[in-house]
Structure 1
């Protein structure tokens, strides 16, 4: 376990150094609990906190903490709402005071690689909110950009399709089939090579496994 922890931290800190070279604010935490504490330092009573549909963030229980802190939760992923309501909330998230999300993959040289259906997450991550915090677990770290897209096709996309119970082929094969289905959720691809000019963004690398 000691050697595994050393390796995880070594990879995490290498990615943090690469992100800093790419002009991102970046830091490494061993646990999601430490990352959650960092996030809560930015949550003040009355602010609006947007959630980008991240299983990493959801697994940290941040929504409840935000509400207890007296801030407003904007989460288009809440159940039992119409598609119109979901889109309206997603638009509000894009102008939130604090936007929380993850990345589908991140490379050793500090590129954030993502895939979206509506494009709301990659839009808000890039421009709009006053502050963006991206939490990424070390198990999403890929050698390079090519490997990152392989991760999107082989892990992130199929698992998100399964979570959403789509009828798309990858829910049967476990890997992207580049389907032509109307229900395809892999529609918007994004690579952040440098921090967007006017976006206050922090990327948090976490040593624990989280999300997919």
Structure 2
């Protein structure tokens, strides 16, 4: 493990997070699944990283109930959200982790942020090394707005300014109802009474 990774783990631990580092994705998944009973319900946040790793499919194969909004009709989301909030665990990724150990998330509807703020007792974040941002708040916001959001908007085929131009036009630019950057969450410490595992993987995953 290089000194840069070690410093991120140190900063995360200082803030009460439970950090882990694995060189390979299969090692990270082995650890993740060791923490989850086979019969428990697991909430999943929208995440390219989680999709790339095949987490939903692997959970179902071992008998877990997977609660994922993108597989649920939109008019049923109000029924799904309470079940996600009361699940055994919640799995997602971070949009950015700044050098001072803060975790950053950006969202369009807020379902993912709600689960992180006041949802399952156990949170597992799967993060490629590309989510580690040198610097603090300004650099984390720049990474999310100018890198992650445009790529995600294009992946989702959304008609947003950033999907068209490749960069966020705000504050002067045009707003779109389809924007996925409506809400931003800074997690400075672990929410009270909960455990937040930050699983950093030595690969580039997601945006």
Task: Tell me the alpha carbon deviations over residues 89-122 of structure 1, each in whole angstroms, 9 at most, x when there is no partner.
Answer: 3442222101100010001110001111111112
**What is the alpha-carbon root mean square deviation over aligned residues?**
1.5
Q: Work out whether residues 12 and 206 of structure 1, in 8 Å CA contact, stay in contact via their aligned partners in 2.
A: no
SS at structure 2 position matched to 1:181: coil
SS at structure 2 position matched to 1:132: strand
How far did 1:87 drift? 4.7
Say whether 1:155 aligns with 2:147: yes
TM-score by structure 2 length?
0.92
Query: Equivalents in 1 of 2:34, 2:7: separation in Å?
Result: 25
Q: Work out whether residues 94 and 120 of structure 1, in 8 Å CA contact, stay in contact via their aligned partners in 2.
A: no
Task: Tell me the alpha carbon deviations over residues 19-75 of structure 1, each in whole angstroms, 9 at most, x when there is no partner.
Answer: 000111111111111111111012212210111011111111111221122111111
Q: Work out whether residues 145 and 181 of structure 2, in 8 Å CA contact, stay in contact via their aligned partners in 1.
A: no
How far did 1:12 drift? 2.1
Query: Equivalents in 2 of 1:85, 1:25: separation in Å?
Result: 33
Stretches of structure 1 that go unaligned for 5 or more consecutive residues are 1-5
TM-score by structure 1 length?
0.90
Say whether 1:117 aligns with 2:73: no
Which of 97, 105, 120 aligns to 1:106? It is: 97
Q: Work out whether residues 161 and 175 of structure 2, in 8 Å CA contact, stay in contact via their aligned partners in 1.
A: no
Q: Work out whether residues 121 and 193 of structure 2, in 8 Å CA contact, stay in contact via their aligned partners in 1.
A: no
How many residue pairs end up in the alignment?
Answer: 203
